[in-house]
Structure formats: C-alpha cells, structure tokens
Chain A
Amino acid sequence: MRGDEILLRSLKQEGVDTIFGYPGGMVIDIFDAMVRTFSDDFKFILVRHEQAAVHAADGYARATGKPGVCIVTSGPGGTNTVTGLATAYMDSIPIVVFTGQVPTGLIGNDAFQEADIVGITRPCTKHNYLVMSTDELARTVKEAFTIAASGRPGPVLVDLPKDVTQSTAQWDYPTSIELPTYKPTVKAHLPSIRRAADLICQAERPVIYAGGGVITSGAHAELRTLAEMTGFPVTMTLMGLGCFPGTHPLSLGMLGMHGTYRANMAVNDSDLLFAVGARFDDRVTGPVSEFARGAKIIHVDIDPTSIQKNIEVDVPLVGDARDALSRLIEILEERGPQTVNKEKLTGWHAQITAWRNEQRLRFDRTTTTIKPQYVVEKLYEMTAGRAIISTEVGQNQMWAAQYYLFDEPRTFLSSGGLGTMGYGFPAAIGAQVAFPDKLVIDIAGDGSIQMNIQELATVAQYKLPVKIAILNNGYLGMVRQWQERFYDNVYAHTDIMCAPDFIKLADAYGALGLRAETTEEVVPVIKQALETDGPVIMDFVVEREEGVYPMIPAGKSITDVILI
C-alpha cells in the first residue's frame, strides 16, 4: 500500500474525521488520495493560511477534547504552522500536524521548499518526527496520536518526505503501542492524597485555584463535588474558565492580573490554596515571594515539571486531576460529613462577599458611546451564556473572560500561554466545524482580527455561521493601556484607526456586516446577528480609551492593584 494511503487509513483508525490544511507540492499525493480514495471519510477544511489551519485544529481540539489534525506542505507551509504549534504547546492542546518534506534523498541539500521543520519546531512541540521510511509510517502516526493526547497533552508534528508517501509498505496498523520511554504518570500517591485531605479538614480560609488541566482531564464534575462538599470557593485561571460554573455561588471568577478583586484578595489571605491543573503562571502569581504567603499549598498536576517549578508547594500530587480529585472525595466521604466543617467557613465567605461588594467588576453604564464591557455583557445575556466563545488577544480577551460567565467546560477558547493575536477567528472555525449547530462567537479586537482575516473566505466556502464581534477601539488597546499607565501616555505605534471598513470587508467575502456606534444600537445588532444563518461580522465602535480593570501591574501583587 502506498504511503499516502497508509497515512489516511491510519488517521481513520485514530477516529479522525476532520482535517484542516493547505496543499502544496510535497503533500500533493496525500491530497490526491484524500479526494480519490477517501472522499467519504474526511471532512477537509481548506483554510487560507497554514497558521489558521493549526489554530482551527486547536479550536476543534479544545471544543471537542479530541486531537485536531492538519496537513500542510513543506517549507513555507511548515514554517507557517510554528505560531499555531507554539500556541497549542503553551496551552497543552492535543493536535497532530503533518508537514510535507522534500524527498529523503534531497534532505539537507537546500532543496526547493526545504525547511528543517523538525529542528524548527522541537522546542514548541511535545514531540516530533521525521519519517524516513514508509515502513515506519503507520507506527509513527500511532505514536504521534498517543503522545499528543495522553499525559499532559500537546502538539506533535510528523514530517513526511515526499518519497515516503509515494513508496509502498505493508499495511499493518498497531492497535496499541508500548512506548518504553514514555510513561506519563497518571496516579497520584495515596499518602499524599491523605495529607491533602488532612489540610482540607483543617482549613479556615481555603481557596480552590483551578486551571485548564481540570478541563483536559474531564474533572469538572469532580471539582464541583469537591467544592460543594467542602464549601470551598473556586477561582479559575484564564485557561480554566468553564471548568467550574461561573454562575455558581462558590465561583470567585478569574484570578490574576485582570482577575476579580475578591479572587485575588481571597488567594492572598488564604490559609489553604488547592491548586488543580494550574501552573502558577506569572500572570497569576505576580512575584512568587508575595503570593499566598500564609497558605499551605496543595498542587495537583499531571506534569512533574510543573510542580515546584514556580512555587514551593506543601503537598505535590503528580497525577491525573480527575483521578486525584475522585480519590480525594472518596477519602473525605469516608471520614464523614463532620470532618469538613462548613460552619467554620462562614466568616471566610462573609469576608469574600464583603470584598465583592467593595469592588465589583464595573463600568460606566450611562454613556452613549459603547462600552466594550457592555457588548460582552449583552452577548452573554442574549446567548443565555450558551455560546462557544473564542477570543483574540488583548483587552477583548480580558473583557470576554470577565463578563461572559462560562458554566460548561470547552466553551471558552483562548490563547492563554502564548497570547496569540489572530487565534480566535480560526479557533472559532475549528469549533464550528466540530459543532455545526452550536453558536460560535469570536470576541475580537480590531487589531487581532486583521491577523487572520483571510479566513473569511473559509467560512464563506464552508458556510460556517461563525459570528465575529469586534470590539473596535482603533487601538492595539491592551498595549495602549500599558502606555497610558506606565509610559506617560506616549502611544508609540498603537493607533490603528487606519483600518478596513469591516462592513464592506464582510460584504466582499459574502458575509453579513453590521455596525453599532451607540449603546442603544448594540442590542439590535446582536439580535440581527444571532438571527442570521451565515457568518456575521459585528463591528462595535467602542470607547477608544477604555481600560481593563482591576489590573495588577506586572511584577506586583494584589496590594498594588489598580481598581479603575
């Protein structure tokens, strides 16, 4: 069997039914086989830039939990995937990217469209492969999917020289494989779980700090059980939004640089911090010496390198979050209801409520000029919180995180670790392809949306009803906000008023464009967009110099918070 056929058959074996990609000389055989032999097996989405293919696969993976798949050509096709790979790597998203490569005999010769993509992507993939013979192909695909999706997930790249896809080999797909050098730890030690249970029973000012790992491991139900049985409040990282219901009375909202006042105050004053699937990123902790100083810390993470990396913890639990949480719950249940004394927490909850009343998320509701927060709030209300939301990066991302409450995991898609402008729109495409009947909205900035705007052609071609809500402030707003606060209002190259007319642009691509310029126009525009079957760009002309608050300046702690 030819290599191209082995590849596509292997993908079928892995349960792949959707592929994002872009053709070129070194993958022409694979594309040919895809159309001639496998046309019923895969939904193929032809994007307009390889970066978008990777983000779309990433969005698909975040929304479904299944690995996303891309196929692109060698050289520039491969190098265009780098940002997407790095984005997925930072956020631990399982994707498998196949790149074409020049024939094995030409590798190293600076052949046409040759790039050492394995070398280039080594530090931004969980693992990568150069397949040197057709015999290795099936096994490599199996390994790639195994590695991408297990342990702490991540992107895997497989480089396929043209002759490897053209030559033949025996079809022999391994049903399961042993990787002797890869054993992702999955079960936390029982004695450590017991110690965690002890600390939980003693805590008087506890906070659960939940991150993306809860979503990855599917531990949201366990997390909720734990929170409800202990009465512990829960704060989430940007990546964790949706892992615990945002509308739950125990939710403190997001923590960190633009987190809620109560979440950051609670962490700061806590005597027990229960971190699960989170990695103490600097955007969360500020200076670690100041972070949760009075707290004992329990840290559940599947990746041993995350533990004791940024912060010293008292009880490390290396293992799958879902497994660790369910065993912890069992232990707490065995000890009986009295062991966790919820009464003891009454004062703590009162304190948290006081913090909330003291400093709520807020904006001026009296203006005619549109406040971007108002747009997000209305999107939330008018979609009843049920949309899949992707975001770009910048202020738009933070307002989305603050004002849209996520009750379900896998409904908030955002580039957290890398902060990739241009991520949101293609990610929305990936989610929409996975869930054709769900409402998918990209909350965008006017800067970010222009980084992958070409994908309007993709949504037009596949009739994907993705909605884009541009919070159009005419600025690279987040950078402008820093310049306002920390650089004496010198707006060095952040004014982007010179932009396309997004209505005409939508029209040019065959999408619907709608604009709101005053507060009262916001609701009608959203309403019309939600009633439209096809793709829509909503251009909200918002208050230009609105800022995201609260804000803890980089390298500072909650005591230095800027409230407005």
Chain B
Amino acid sequence: MGTRHVIAVLVENKPGVLARISGMFSGRGFNIHSLAVAPTLDTKLSRMTIVTDGNQHIIEQIIKQLRKLINVVKVQDLTDHEYVDRELILVRVKATEDKREEVLRITDIFRGKVVDVTPDTITLEVTGSRSKIEAILELLTSIGILELIRAGTVAIARGKKTPKAAGCPE
C-alpha cells in the first residue's frame, strides 16, 4: 500500500464513460477507495474525484492511463498541490434515552445536523475533512452505528483553478 492520492478527472458527460474509467482501474489492478461524480456547470462535462493509493510509479501509471482514455478531458493529481477535500456522511446511531444527550453533544461539536429522530435512533448528516469524519465515526461507533452512508470524497485545489474544459489535456 502506498500513499493516498486524490485525483480530479474531468470527463465528457456521455454514456459509458464511468464504465471506461472504472474498467481501466479494475482491469489494471488499481484501487478505487472512493469515486464521486456529477456534471459540472457545463453539463457536457462531468467532474470525478477519485481517491486511490499506490506508490509513485502506480500513481503515474493511473494518471497516464486516465489521460489515454478518449473521453477524458483533464486529469490532475490534487495531492501534488494544496487542496480541500470533504466528505458527506449520513449515519443512523442507536440513541436510547440515556445516550441521546451524548449523541447530540457529539453532533454539536462536529457541527453535524440531525436529519431524523425516532424513539431510539438519531440520524445525522455530517460533512468534513477525512480526519473529521474518521473522528466522529470513532466516537459514534462506541455508541452504536446502525447504518452508515458515505458519499465519497470530493476535492478542490486551493487558490488556483481545478481542471477546466478549455485547453488540451496534458
């Protein structure tokens, strides 16, 4: 296992493109930790954030192989730069009478939101960096997580712009 890399990929918003990308990863034995994808402001394009890992050699291959795909517009390894990454989670925790206070307090500390409550569960929405998400999950685990949905990481470079449609892919 190598280091974690967050790769931003701008692709044409066409049928089958996601399959091309995921197929390239599986076919060549590369890892995908998470993959988040949605159209950009220009709906002809989609932006993917792929979290993967590997040594420098593997990451270089991943990036080159991505660039080689015909529908890929631009690829950028955000890990090379300063970037912000966020993940959204929805989590349902066991929250009987005696635990409810604690769950709400944790939610507060992590600036989460309560999105649903039943007599013995609370469902939270939390957004944050990876370390923040890991931290709250650790706390909630000891209370009892019933269900967890993670949206996958999305990321953006700080300061200068992230991949743009204009210009040719590198």
Q: A residues touching B (Cβ–Cβ < 8 Å)? A: 118-119, 122-123, 126-127, 130, 147, 179-183, 303-305, 308-309
B60 touches A308 (CB 8 A): yes
Mask, B1-36, CB within 8 Å of A = 1, is: 000000000001001100110011001000000000
B40: Cβ under 8 A from any A Cβ: no
Q: What residues of chain A lie closer than 8 Å to B12, measured between beta carbons?
A: 181
Q: Is the CB of A127 within 8 A of B27?
A: no
Asked if residues B65 and A180 are in contact (CB atoms below 8 Å), the reply is: no
Interface positions of B from 54 to 88, Cβ below 8 Å from A: 57, 60-61, 64-65, 67-68, 70-73
Query: In the bound complex, what is the Cα–Cα distance between A119 and B165 (angstroms)?
Result: 26
Contact (A305, B23) CB under 8 Å given A181-B73, A183-B169: no
A179 CB, nearest partner CB in chain B, Å: 7
A-B contact pairs, 28 of them (CB 8 A): A118-B16, A119-B19, A122-B20, A122-B23, A123-B23, A123-B27, A126-B70, A127-B70, A130-B15, A130-B16, A147-B70, A179-B70, A180-B165, A181-B12, A181-B70, A181-B73, A181-B169, A182-B70, A183-B168, A183-B169, A303-B68, A304-B64, A304-B67, A305-B61, A305-B64, A305-B68, A308-B60, A309-B61
Extra contacts, 6 of them, besides A119-B19, A122-B19 (Cβ < 8 A), are A118-B16, A122-B16, A130-B15, A181-B73, A182-B70, A309-B61
Q: Which of A303, A305, A308 contacts B57 (CB 8 A)?
A: A308
Contact with A along B103-146 (1 / 0, CB 8 A): 00000000000000000000000000000000000000000000
Give the nearest-CB partner of B68 in chain A. Answer: A305
A309 neighbours in B (Cβ, 8 Å): 61
Cross-chain contact of B168 among A118, A122, A130, A180 (Cβ < 8 A): A180
Taking the closest CB of chain B, its distance from the CB of A229, in whole angstroms, is: 33
Chain A positions within 8 Å of B24 at CB level = 123
Chain B interface main SS type: helix
Q: Which 8 A-B pairs have the closest CB atoms?
A: A305-B64, A127-B70, A183-B168, A304-B64, A123-B27, A181-B73, A182-B70, A305-B65
Q: Which residue of B lies closest to A119 (CB)?
A: B19
Contacts of B70 in A (CB 8 A): 126-127, 147, 179, 181-182
In the complex, what residue of chain A is closest to B72 when comparing beta carbons? A181
List A contacts of B68 (CB < 8 A). Answer: 303-305
Contacting residues, chain A, for B73 (C-beta < 8 A) = 180-181
Chain A positions within 8 Å of B72 at CB level: 181
What are the residues of chain A within 8 A of B61 when measuring CB–CB? 305, 309
User: Which B residues fall within an 8 A CB radius of A?
Assistant: 12, 15-16, 19-20, 23-24, 27, 57, 60-61, 64-65, 67-68, 70-73, 165, 168-169
Task: Name the A residues within 8 Å of B57 (CB-CB).
Answer: 308
Which residue of chain B lies nearest to A304 when distances are taken between CB atoms in the complex?
Answer: B64
- Chain B residue contacts of A182, Cβ below 8 A: 70
Residues of B within 8 A of A304 (CB): 64, 67-68
CB of A142 to closest CB in B, whole Å = 14
Which residues from A are CB-within-8-Å of B64?
A: 304-305
Which of chain A's residues have a CB closer than 8 A to the CB of B71?
181
- How distant is A250 from chain B, measured CB to nearest CB, in Å? 33
Least CB distance from B94 to A in Å reads 42
Q: Which residues of A contact B19 (CB under 8 A)?
A: 119, 122
Q: Which residue of A lies closest to B27 (CB)?
A: A123
Q: Which residue of A lies closest to B165 (CB)?
A: A180
Min Cβ gap B104→A in Å is: 47
Contacts of B169 in A (CB 8 A): 181, 183
Taking CB as reference atom, which chain B residue is nearest A309? B61
Separation of A129 and B72 alpha carbons in the complex (Å):
15
- Shortest Cβ gap from A246 to chain B (Å): 33
Closest to B26 in A: A123
How far, in Å, is A67 (CB) from chain B's closest CB?
16
Q: How far is the CB of A105 from chain B (nearest CB, A)?
A: 16
Residue of A nearest to B73 (CB): A181
Minimum CB–CB distance for B6 against chain A, Å: 21
Chain B residues near A179 (CB-CB < 8 A) = 70
The smallest beta-carbon distance between A303 and chain B, in angstroms, is 7
Give the CA-CA distance A512 to B60 in the complex, in Å: 55
CB distance from B64 to the nearest CB of A (A): 4
A305 proximity list for chain B (CB < 8 A): 61, 64-65, 68
